[in-house]
Amino acid sequence: MATKKSRQLRQPPSASTTKAPIPEMEYLIIGNSAGGIAAAEAIRELDKNGKLAMVSEEPYFAYSRPLISEYLAGERSLDSMLLRPADFYQRNKIEALLGTKVARVDFGPKLVELEDGRSLAWRKLLLATGGTPIVPKLKGSHREGVFTFTTLEDADKIGQAANRGRTLVIIGGGLTGISLAQALVHRGVTVVMVELMDRVLATALDTEASRLVEQALRREQIELILGHTAKEIVGRPEDDRRVGGVILQDGRTIPCDGVVFAIGVAPRTELVAGSAVTLNRGIVVSRRMITSRRDVYACGDAAEAYDFVHKTNRLIPVWPNAVAGGRVAGFNMAGRRVSYEGNTGMHSLNCFGLSTVAAGLVDSKDDPTCEVLADSSAGNGTYRKIVLKNNRIVGMVFVGDIERSGIVFGLMKDRVNVRRYKEALLSPDFGLGTLPDDLRRKRLSLANSQRGDASGNGR
Ligand SMILES: Cc1cc2nc3c(=O)[nH]c(=O)nc-3n(C[C@H](O)[C@H](O)[C@H](O)COP(=O)(O)OP(=O)(O)OC[C@H]3O[C@@H](n4cnc5c(N)ncnc54)[C@H](O)[C@@H]3O)c2cc1C
C-alpha cells in the first residue's frame, strides 16, 4: 500500500538525469537529508547562484527519517513527512540527483564518480552520508523476511510483512526498535523485542527511566526478552527461504514471520576509506566541520562532531546535530567562518503516551565527582533527574512530565552555573520565572533570537 504512495515523492524524470555532461559544481553535497538540506540552505543564504548539486541514493525528496514509524503505523501521510516543499530544489537552483549513488570520490582532481557512470567535478564537497544500519553476521540472515528500519523503503517493506496477527521479532531495544514496536502494535502485529542489555534504552536512559518505558511496552503486550540476543534465523518448515523463527543464544526458539535488526547505525564512511580524509569511528572534522582535507566537509551521522558534555568530538547520531552541523558546514563552504557550538546525545521519545527526554550523562554512577538530583515521588510514572558537575548540568532525564526539559537542556548547553537555585530544578513549578533576573532576561532574549531557526528535531 505504501509503496505506491511513496513513488509520488520521487523526483520526476528530468533533464538533470540524462547522460549530458554535467559542469563543475561550486558545491556538491552527498546526502539529501537533515545535514544536506541544512547545508544547502546555509549556502543559499550567502550565495544565491553558485552551482550547487545534491546527490542521494534514496530516490525521494528529503523526508523526516524520525517519522517513518508513524508512516508505517499509518498515522502519517507522505506529504506531511517532506522536509521541504517539492519545489525546494528548483527554487533554490539545486541540481537534485536523486536515486543516484556516488560510487567513488577522487579527492585529488576533485571528482566524484556516480554509479551510473557519470562524473561530477566539485570545488567544495560535503559528505552528509549519514549512517548505515548494523546487521550482525548471523546464520540465516539472508532469509526473506529479515529487515532493517532506517529508510522509507524499509518502512514500505516491513509494511508489506506487517499484517494483523503476524509475529515480528525486533532485535534491539533502543530508540529505533521502540519506535518500530509502536508502529507494529498499531498494525495489530505481535511484537517480541530481544535486547542484549538487561534493560531497554540502555544507552539513552538510566535504569529507573528504562523500567518505566519497559512497563509501558509490556502494557501493550510487547514481550521483552532482556539480556539475550539472537544466534540464528531459521526458515519455515514449508518454505526454508522465508523466516520462520529466531534461535536465541540460550537455545530458545521464537517462532515468527519476520525479524527486524534495530541495533544501531554505523557512520557511512566508505567514500573516504583509504583516502587522505582522516577517519576515526566517523569522519573527523574541525569545529568548522572541515575534514582533514581542504575543501571537504562532513556533518551528521557520518561525522564526529563536538560534544559539549564530553568536551571532545564523537558520534552524535541525532537529527538536531545533523541540522546544526550541516548549517555550519554550509556557511563555511560559502565563505563565512562559523564554528559549531557543539551538541550532545539527546533523545526524546513518546512511548505509547509516555514521554521521555534525556541528554548528556544520564548514568553517572561511575563518576564520584557528579552530584545527582532525582525525584520520582509523584508515583504516577513521572521521573526527573539532573546530573551536575561543579554546579553545572551535565545530564538530564525527564519521564512523564517533560515540559521543563527544554529549559534545563538550555542551561546545560550554555554551561550555566546553577548553584543558587539547583534545588528548584526538579520542582514541577520550575520555569524561567525561577531563574535569577539577569539569567531570565538573557535566556528570554536568546529564545527570541532562536525563534524561526531551522534546527528542528525532524518531527
Ligand atoms: C527510525 C529512526 C528514528 C529516528 N528518530 C529520531 C528522533 O526521534 N530524534 C532524533 O534526533 N533522531 C532520530 N533519528 C536519527 C536521525 O534520523 C539521524 O540522526 C539523521 O537522519 C542524520 O541525518 P544525516 O543527514 O546525517 O544522514 P541521513 O539522514 O542518514 O541521510 C544520509 C543520506 O545520504 C545518502 N547517501 C549515503 N551515501 C551515499 C552515496 N554514496 N551516494 C548517494 N547518497 C548517499 C543516504 O542514502 C541518505 O539518504 C532516527 C533515525 C531512525 C532511523
For 316-347, the pLDDT digits (tens) are 999 999 999 999 999 999 999 999 999 898 88
Grouping H, G, I as helix, E, B as strand and the rest as coil, residue 36 is helix
Give residue 448's pLDDT band: very low, low, confident or very high (50, 70, 90). Answer: low
Residue nearest to atom 51 of ligand 1 (CA): 66
Please, what sign has the CA dihedral across residues 30, 31, 35, 40? Answer: positive
Cα-flanking dihedrals φ and ψ of residue 199, to 5°?
-155, 160
User: What is the band of 70 on the pLDDT scale with cuts at 50, 70, 90?
Assistant: very high
Distance 367 CA to ligand 1 centre (A): 32
Of 267, 290, 272, 270, the closest CA to residue 106 belongs to 272
- Closest ligand 1 atom, residue 102 Cα: 42
- Residue labelled with grid coordinates 537455545: 251
Residue nearest to atom 53 of ligand 1 (CA): 150
Half-sphere exposure of 239 (CA within 13 A, CB side): 7
Question: What residues does ligand 1 touch, defined as CB less than 6 Å away?
Answer: 30-36, 55-58, 65-66, 68-69, 101-102, 128-131, 149-150, 175-176, 179, 268, 271, 300-302, 317-320, 322, 457-458
pLDDT in tens, 213-227: 999 999 999 999 999
Atom 15 of ligand 1, nearest CA residue: 318
CATH 3.30.390.30 intervals, the chain: 353-448
Determine which residue's CA is closest to atom 37 belonging to ligand 1: 129
At 77, which helix (H) or strand (E)?
A: none
Q: Is the model more confident about 2 or about 297?
A: 297
Give the distance (Å) from ligand 1 centre to CA of residue 406: 24
pLDDT at 280 over 80: yes
Element (H, E) at 396: strand 392-399
Q: Are 63 and 150 in contact (CB under 8 A)?
A: no
Q: Measured in angstroms, how far is the CA atom of residue 198 from the centroid of ligand 1?
A: 28
| The predicted structure's pLDDT at residue 401 | 86
Q: Which atom of ligand 1 is nearest to the CA of 318?
A: 19
Task: Locate the ligand 1 atom nearest the alpha carbon of residue 346 and give its number.
Answer: 11
CA of 303 to the centre of ligand 1 (A): 12
Rounded CA-CA distance 254/354 in Å is 28
For ligand 1, atom 7, the nearest C-alpha belongs to 66
Alpha carbon of 131 to ligand 1 centroid (Å)? 6
What is the pLDDT, as a whole number, of residue 309? Answer: 87
Pocket probe for ligand 1: among 60, 100, 301, the residue whose CB has the most ligand atoms within 8 Å is: 301
How is 288-337 classified by DSSP, letter by letter? T-B-SSTTEEE-GGGEEEEETTTTEEEE--SHHHHHHHHHHHHHHHTT--
Distance 300 CA to ligand 1 centre (A): 8
Fold of 146-263: FAD/NAD(P)-binding domain (3.50.50)
% pLDDT > 70, the chain: 90
CA–CA dist 266, 136 (Å, integer): 12
Q: Is the pLDDT of residue 123 over 80?
A: yes
Task: Output the pLDDT for position 424.
Answer: 86
**23 — pLDDT class (breaks 50, 70, 90):** low
- Compute the distance between CA of residue 271 and CA of residue 258 in angstroms, rounded to an integer: 32
Question: Residues 183, 156: contact at Cβ < 8 Å?
Answer: no
Pocket test for ligand 1, best of 102, 319, 350 (most atoms within 8 A of CB): 319
288 pLDDT more than 50: yes
Alpha-carbon gap, residue 34 to 324, rounded angstroms: 9
**Which residues on adjacent β-strands are paired with residue 343?**
307
> Residue 113: CB partners within 8 Å, gap ≥ 6?
102, 103, 104, 105, 106, 119
Q: How far is the CA of 319 from the centre of ligand 1 (A)?
A: 8
pLDDT class of 2 with cuts at 50, 70, 90: very low
Q: In one letter, which amino acid is 27?
A: Y
Q: From the CA of 271, give the closest atom in ligand 1.
A: 41
Nearest ligand 1 atom, CA 100: 43
What cell numbers appear for 161 in the block? 510483512
The arrangement of secondary structure in 353-448, i.e. its CATH architecture, is 2-Layer Sandwich (3.30)
Q: How far is the CA of 11 from the centre of ligand 1 (A)?
A: 19
Query: Tell me, what's the pLDDT at 453?
Result: 37
CA distance linking residue 307 with residue 155, whole number of Å: 31
- Taking the centre of ligand 1 as the mean of its atom positions, its distance from the CA of residue 57, in whole angstroms, is 12
Q: How confident is the prediction for the chain on average, in pLDDT?
A: 90
Instruction: Give the orientation angle of helix 437-450 with respect to helix 405-413, to 10 degrees.
Output: 100
Between β-strands 243-248 and 230-235, what pairing exists: parallel, antiparallel or unpaired? antiparallel
* pLDDT band at residue 454 using 50, 70 and 90 as cut-offs: very low
Cell 544507552, located at residue: 203
Nearest protein CA to atom 29 of ligand 1, as residue: 33
Residue among 9, 28, 30, 33 to mutate when testing ligand 1 (max atoms within 8 A of CB): 33
Residue 284, all three cell numbers: 573527523
Domain with CATH 3.50.50.60 in the chain: 2-131+266-333, 146-263
Name the residue of 28, 60, 65 whose CB sits within 8 Å of the most ligand 1 atoms, as the mutation to test its pocket.
65
CATH C-level class of 2-131+266-333: alpha beta
